[in-house]
Structure 1
Amino acid sequence: MSERTATDAVREALAATVAAERLRIVASLIRRTGDWELAEDAVQDAMTRALTAWPTRGIPDNPAAWLTTAARNAAVDMLRRAASERRTAGRAAIEAAVDREDQALGSAPDVDALGVVDDDRLRLIFTCCHPALPMEARVALTLRTVAGLEVGEIARAFLVSEATMQKRLVRARARIRGAGIPYRVPSAEALPERGQGVLAVLYLLFTEGYAGGSGLVRVPVAEEAIRLARLLSTLLVDAPPQPEVLALLALMLFQHSRAATRLDEKGDLVLLEDQDRARWDAAMIGEGVAALAASESARRRIDGVAGPYRLQAEIARHHATAPSAESTDFARVAELYARLARVAPSPVVELNRAVAVGLAEGPLAGIALLDELDDARLDGYHLLPAARADLLRRAGRPAEALPHYERALELAPSDPERRFLVRRIAEVRSDSRP
């Protein structure tokens, strides 16, 4: 094997190991030391050591065990160099409790007597998403510590400087220490309520990955949200049924299956009805259908009502599985939005329901619902005038649609959306000429 080939093999093996095991190793070190930065630094140190040792010594038979030991040793070295008694005590805690976890490497998570999964990864996820933390801190911690994104990547995704994002992370860790936020999985009774907070963070990560819905996919953020939802559904498989976890996973899969078709080759926005459905990710849609079915099965086991993610996923399924835009069951979509409005009231849900009604019953029916929608929270929301303009255009009233398209253009948050609206304005101006 040439030197270049050997190096490539090492990098591939290390990348695969880190993807599978980084979260477990970091979570375990945080539990033992209580030091979040030390845990992250120790894993980074172990990765550096692997890049030096594996090309000459060969890739170990069990790369995960090697990386775990190297990270543990790096943490011990860091604690040895520290002068405080607190860190010395942390070192003893590490050295005293590693054998059992080394033996259990790669094994299934334990389940306690109450049926709640006892897993360091779940502890970390629930701690990062604790309701005592501001939402921006939950998001930043989840991306940095759980997903493993670099601070610079997170900063770019949220359009802030690296220094600003680093300060958010420091404040969040200090809040965890200062407020005494427990590093544990909630009890079985509290799991559904606390789980909703985790799901809200994951869905926020996913939607941020789409740059506010403009179609600009921030791949590391959107795909990490899906990966974490998959992990959460796997870790909670032996816990009390959690239908909304599976529903959120299905929702994100359906939406992300269209990622390749949201923009054209020029970077311009392509509406759902105009996207090439042959390019949608069929495997991802199939996984979403299976996750949604599993969600429904879990809901029936607890005799619960359909939650907001379940209803949104069902809406997304109708779009993802329809052979064409024309064959989409918009009457059913409108009905699902009406149910969603009762479960999770929102002016945006009502706006979407009006659009669905307009496509199911005719544009004038949708416009009538928009006329009833008077909510200050939609002031400045570009999709409100855009929706009214589109329904007026479909109703054959381009002159009336024009000012609403122009208002949407003033409010549009991204270049692809602005370019799309400029094209629409040109079209309706042409159509409205005598």
Structure 2
Amino acid sequence: MDEVALRSLTPGVLAVLVRRGADFAAAEDAVQEALLEAVRVWPDDPPREPRAWLITVAWRRFLDATRSEAARRRREEAVEEEPAPGPGPAVDDTLRLYFLCAHPSLTPSSAVALTLRAVGGLTTRQIAEAYLVPEATMAQRISRAKRTVADVRLDQPGDVATVLRVLYLVFNEGHSGDVDLAVEAIRLTRQLAAGVAPDHPGWPEVAGLLALMLLHHARRPARTAPDGARVPLAEQDRRRWDTAAIAEGVEILQAALARDRLGELQAQAAVAALHADAPSTEETDWVQVVEWYDELLRLAESPVVRLNRAVAVGHADGPRAGLAALAALDETLPRHTAAAAYLHERAGDLAIAAGLYAEAARRASDLAERGHLVRQAARLHGRAGA
């Protein structure tokens, strides 16, 4: 069994131990020991029921550790006798683990780290590399998160929206080290979508997030030039987009929208679907894009959405209309200057646009974005001079 398949079993096994009475930290340690044993034993003697094998071994490791502690009697009163091996229920237990790792008492960064460790099955080293921090720092962060949720009882329904925010944070981290967090986030969101019943009130937003991830990830191969430079949407080679991922994302989104319980993630996915469906930037249905941004603003006020809407208005109703919409926003808003530069360029104000691109480059904190803005400024300076 490969590493990804083995990791996919981790949350279900860990959740079973927690449900049986193990505290989170001890259960997680026991599961890690079981995984190490699986790596050692399975190549020569693979089990018929891998998940049941892991549950049995992890539970024995937990009981052994429990009996060796000074608080043996108190803790053994809370645990059951070892059950007969068997696959056991998977969905409910795994969902409980999602909710535990995204508990409101955790900071967003701690919730992400704990989710990757407990639900994703990644090692502390892999998570540390993905976040470009020392392994010891990440180990401390995960340990604190475990202690925070150690005594949390999940006797109430969890908040699906909190879980989705955590998974979206994971997705947006991208790729660093030997783990692609965008791919990992899609895998975990698929797992969550499989565990939430379609009649659950939160299912449309779970499906909306999965669709949004697939639609954004489909454009990833075209987002970067061979030299590492960022390629904006208008200049991307759409032949490099993953059409299968786009088709799947659109299908999932349509199923979610059919439930008639619109949420922010579904609306964001609808905008992404319109971009993915268009043969070019100019052929995009910008009127519909503006309408979906209006829906997003109705669901939750956001300056970032208003900025993106202004750019869409610049396409749907002309750059002057877009600049008028942009003028109503705070100029210190991230990417405001870059958006103004783009709209001025579309309006033919090349000298103004070049200056704004240069100013936006000075403000940019991301090196790839800064490089793109500098190139835009240089390009327009040349055209204005000519």
In the superposition, the TM-score normalised over structure 1's length comes to 0.82
- Deviation of the 1:355 alpha carbon: 0.5
Tell me what 1:277 maps to: 238
Matched, 1:95 2:81: yes
Letter in 2 for 1:333: V
Aligned partners of 1:72 and 1:94 also within 8 Å? no
Matched, 1:394 2:377: no
Tell me what 1:171 maps to: 144
- Deviation of the 1:270 alpha carbon: 0.8
- Deviation of the 1:259 alpha carbon: 1.4
Aligned partners of 1:14 and 1:63 also within 8 Å? no
State, as a whole percentage, how many aligned pairs show the same letter: 43
Letter in 2 for 1:75: F
- Deviation of the 1:87 alpha carbon: 7.2
- Deviation of the 1:348 alpha carbon: 0.5
- Deviation of the 1:238 alpha carbon: 5.5
Task: Determine which of 310, 313, 329 is the counterpart of 2:266.
Answer: 310
The worse-fitting range, judged by mean Cα deviation, of 31-40 and 251-260 is: 31-40
**Pairwise mapping of residues 11-410 of structure 1 onto structure 2 (< 5 A)?**
13-15=1-3, 17-56=5-44, 58-85=45-72, 89=76, 93-96=79-82, 98-99=83-84, 102-105=85-88, 109=91, 119-177=92-150, 180-184=151-155, 186=157, 194-209=159-174, 220-237=180-197, 239-241=199-201, 242-299=203-260, 304=261, 306-374=262-330, 378=333, 381=334, 383-410=335-362
Letter in 1 for 2:306: E
Tell me what 1:10 maps to: none
- Residue 220 to residue 405, structure 1, CA distance change in 2 (3 Å): same
Number of paired residues? 385
Secondary structure at the aligned position of 2:258 is classed as: helix
Aligned partners of 1:123 and 1:184 also within 8 Å? no
In structure 1, how many angstroms separate the alpha carbons of the residues matched to 2:49 and 2:187?
Answer: 23
Tell me what 1:433 maps to: 385
1:188-235 deviation digits (Å, cap 9, x = unpaired): xxx6xx22122122212222237xxxxx89953222222222112211
List, as ranges, runs of 4+ consecutive aligned residues in structure 1 with deviation greater than 6 Å: none
Structure 2 unmatched runs, 5+: none
In structure 2, how many angstroms separate the alpha carbons of the residues matched to 1:339 and 1:237?
Answer: 26
- Residue 87 to residue 278, structure 1, CA distance change in 2 (3 Å): farther
- Deviation of the 1:433 alpha carbon: 1.0
Q: CA RMSD in A?
A: 2.4
- Deviation of the 1:328 alpha carbon: 0.8
Structure 1 unmatched runs, 5+: 1-12, 110-118, 211-215
Aligned partners of 2:7 and 2:121 also within 8 Å? no
Aligned partners of 2:129 and 2:177 also within 8 Å? no
1:401-420 deviation digits (Å, cap 9, x = unpaired): 12211221112222221221
- Residue 422 to residue 397, structure 1, CA distance change in 2 (3 Å): same
Aligned partners of 2:126 and 2:179 also within 8 Å? no
Aligned partners of 1:140 and 1:169 also within 8 Å? yes
Aligned partners of 1:17 and 1:63 also within 8 Å? no
Secondary structure at the aligned position of 2:79 is classed as: helix
Letter in 1 for 2:375: R
In the superposition, the TM-score normalised over structure 2's length comes to 0.91
In structure 2, how many angstroms separate the alpha carbons of the residues matched to 1:63 and 1:169?
Answer: 27
